[in-house]
Amino acid sequence: MPLRDSIDEIDVLIAELSELRQALCRAELAGSPEDALWDAEAALRHVARRSDARAKLVRRAIELNRERRSA
C-alpha cells in the first residue's frame, strides 16, 4: 500500500469534514440547525467508517512489513 494513498485519503477526509463544518455554520446562521444536525450525524458516521477502513489498511501494511523483516 503506497503511503501516497493514505495521504490522499486523509486529504479527502479533511475536505469532507471542512464541508460539513461549513454546512453546519450556514445552518446555524439560517436558524435551522436541527435538520443540519441529522445530516451531520450521517456525514460523521460516513467519515468514521472511511477512517476506520483506512486505519485497518495501514495496520495490515505495518504487519506485513514486520513479517517481511523478520523472515
Q: Would you list the domain boundaries of the chain? A: 3-70
Q: 50-64: per-residue pLDDT in tens?
A: 999 999 999 998 999
Residues 6 or more apart whose Cβ sits within 8 Å of residue 58: 1, 6
Q: 4-51: per-residue pLDDT in tens?
A: 888 999 999 999 999 999 999 999 999 888 888 888 999 999 999 999
Residues 6 or more apart whose Cβ sits within 8 Å of residue 16: 43, 46, 47
User: With 70 as the cut, is the pLDDT of residue 67 above it?
Assistant: yes
Q: What is the length of the chain? A: 71
Question: What does the pLDDT read at residue 45?
Answer: 96
